[in-house]
Amino acid sequence: MSRGLLASFANRLAIPDLSLMPKERLTPARIRIELLSGLTVALALVPEAVAFAFVAGVHPLVGLYAAFLVGLITALIGGRPGMISGATGALAVVMVALVAQHGVEYLFATVVLMGVLQIIAGALRWGKFIRLVPHPVMLGFVNGLAIVIFLAQLSQFKVPGSVENTGHGMGGGEWLSGMPLYLMLGLTALTMAIIWVMPRISRVVPAPLVGIGVVAALVIGFNLDVPRVGDLASIQGGLPSFHIPTVPLTWETFEIILPYAVILAAIGLIESLLTLNLVGEITGERGGASQECIAQGVANTVTGFFGGMGGCAMIGQSMINVKSGGRTRIAGIAAALFLLIFILFAAPMIELIPLAALVGVMFMVVIGTFAWNSLTILRKVPLTDAFVILLVTVVTVLEDLAVAVVVGVIVSALAYAWNNARRIHAITRESRTAEGAKVYEIQGPLFFGSSDGFTELFDVETDPDLVIADFAQSRVVDQSALQAIEAVAGKYEAAGKQLQLRHLSRDCHKLLSKAGHLVVENDDDPDYALAVDYGVRTGILGDH
């Protein structure tokens, strides 16, 4: 992400730009901030975990256990301090079909397999491919996810018990009306106002925690009739216990859970790695993609054996943590442990917290997450980039994150290939050394997208008997390029004319099977490797 975007993002979150600041030292003041940040995140995790459990069609404790275990393990060994992981809606909407058809035990087995696949991806260092995600896709990702977070909060404005939360919060049920609605909106607005004002007064306590505390005190003190956490479900429970999924150990079971495990692993890693990049840009951290893959895999494998629904990084809670001052692993660990304390000992108290306070926190996350400057740059960036931003945003909202990112990357790659394909052209002139010869100075990259345009540059019928193709200003990229050169050489040979190839790399010399004898070697030949070099030498592509 650009520095301007990062600075704007940091300002909207009411935090300093930390990318140029030194690493935090664990002073008593720092530990206090980390613990309070963890408490704030834990409070916001409760309704999210319960809601996503409803989406997946499982007991709320299954979502809460996932938030605790995944959050704790990734905080301990994850690739980026400051990130928060837990049960997410992106995964829950995939799980619902599996649970409905086969039951929750198959879900636990799928989560275990999902974790194993993520560990393999991390061990193979596939996390590095996240760098191929273009900036417009990243903008579309944060905008789409901000909209999804916003939509997920709308279900809290419905009559408690009339609807189970859905992935985007737009399921059936009756909306609040009259005084309950006005109270809900007023308390939500009050929470947002406190979060906005508090950093300007004091940063001793995280602003979201102050907002939750003040609004909760008002609701409890005046006994206001508004929806509360306990209206969603009871969060009282015990410690998660070790449990081997009770599914038949057969090939048929593997065939059932494998497709779901692959999809869940892909979605979880994409969302986690994009969140890792986003948090890393804000906190000035680099690397850790493969480590995050392994951490997510270990967390999900363990969670599957302890009755959890699995999870991945959560951009909303990660932004709450960053906004509240969390910079080290302590905040993530504290969030997970506070959540466990809520489940074991503090459920009656936590269930009294008004949902309006938590909705206000998440609305501020939406405001801070959405890349508002992308609305102004849409008119300034190339049309393709603007289209990708909008496309990824829409697909994220309507489908899911993984599909949106894949679609965005494919469209960006095709646009890049098309733009490069249009660059191929040639400057023709008479040769200075060979009398009567015609020189084609090839300009632009020669690859699969420009190979047809390359062959159309040559006028075999009217060209003289000697033609020189000079590649000094071009670069031969792949097998399609080599095939195009062979095809042009074949046309001149069939016409009884001579074609000379100059300034090709030595890799091209070796890989041109038919036209190799036409290459004229020069001292200033370029030296670069072709993408097909390894494939031809190993017999993967074959000779042409």
d(CA 513, CA 24): 60
Instruction: State the DSSP H helix or E strand holding residue 244, giving kind and residue range, or none if neither.
Output: none
| Helices 207-221 and 178-201, axial angle in degrees (round to 10) | 140
Q: Identify any residues that bridge with 444 across adjacent strands, giving them in sequence order.
A: 474
d(CA 418, CA 192): 46
Instruction: State the DSSP H helix or E strand holding residue 471, giving kind and residue range, or none if neither.
Output: strand 466-476
d(CA 452, CA 447): 9
Which residues make Cβ contacts (< 8 Å) with residue 440, sequence separation at least 6?
A: 426, 427, 428, 457, 458, 467, 468, 469, 470
Which residues make Cβ contacts (< 8 Å) with residue 170, sequence separation at least 6?
A: 151, 154, 155
Q: Which of 322, 308, 285 is nearest to 21 (CA)?
A: 285
Residue 344, pLDDT > 90, answer yes
At residue 23, the pLDDT reads 56
The type of residue at 384 is T
| pTM for the full predicted model | 0.76
| Cα four-point dihedral sign 152, 154, 159, 163 | negative
Which residues make Cβ contacts (< 8 Å) with residue 192, sequence separation at least 6?
A: 211, 360, 363, 364
At residue 62, the pLDDT reads 96
Highest mean pLDDT (candidates 347-351, 375-379, 503-507):
347-351
Average confidence (pLDDT) over 444-451: 92
Six-digit token string for 14: 């009411």
The type of residue at 414 is L
At residue 24, the pLDDT reads 62
* pLDDT tier at 533, thresholds 50, 70, 90: very low
Compute the chain's Rg from CA coordinates.
29
* pLDDT tier at 8, thresholds 50, 70, 90: very low
| Of residues 532 and 222, more confidently modeled | 222
Neighbours of 481 (CB within 10 A): 25
Residue 267, pLDDT > 60, answer yes
d(CA 206, CA 36): 7
| Of residues 522 and 10, more confidently modeled | 522
DSSP 158: B
Which residues make Cβ contacts (< 8 Å) with residue 248, sequence separation at least 6?
A: none
d(CA 484, CA 486): 5
SS3 content of the chain, % helix, strand, coil (to 5): 60, 10, 30
Here the contacts of 92-95 (C-beta below 8 Å, separation 24 or greater) are 92/52, 92/53, 92/55, 92/56, 92/167, 92/309, 93/55, 93/167, 93/400, 94/260, 94/263, 94/264, 94/267, 94/400, 95/55, 95/56, 95/57, 95/58, 95/260, 95/264, 95/309, 95/310
pLDDT averaged over every residue in the chain: 86
What's the pLDDT tens digit per position in 453-477?
Answer: 999 999 999 999 999 999 989 988 8
Q: Which of 488, 483, 472 is nearest to 544 (CA)?
A: 483
Provide the pairing of β-strand 425-430 with 438-446. Answer: antiparallel
Which residues make Cβ contacts (< 8 Å) with residue 290, sequence separation at least 6?
A: 79, 122, 123, 125, 126, 127, 128
What's the pLDDT tens digit per position in 362-411?
Answer: 999 899 889 898 888 888 888 999 999 999 999 989 987 778 989 999 99
Torsion angle (degrees, nearest 10) of CA 453, 459, 463, 469: 10
Average confidence (pLDDT) over 439-452: 93
d(CA 515, CA 538): 21
At residue 402, the pLDDT reads 78
d(CA 315, CA 293): 16
Residues above pLDDT 90, as percent of the chain: 59
How far is C-alpha 113 from the chain's CA centre? 21
Q: Is 91 helix (H, G, I), strand (E, B) or coil?
A: helix
d(CA 211, CA 232): 21
Task: Write down all domains in the chain, each with its CATH number in brackets.
Answer: 3-15+34-157+177-392 (no CATH), 425-537 (3.30.750.24)
Q: Identify any residues that bridge with 354 across adjacent strands, giving them in sequence order.
A: 228
What's the pLDDT tens digit per position in 19-58?
Answer: 333 456 789 999 999 999 999 999 999 988 988 888 888 9
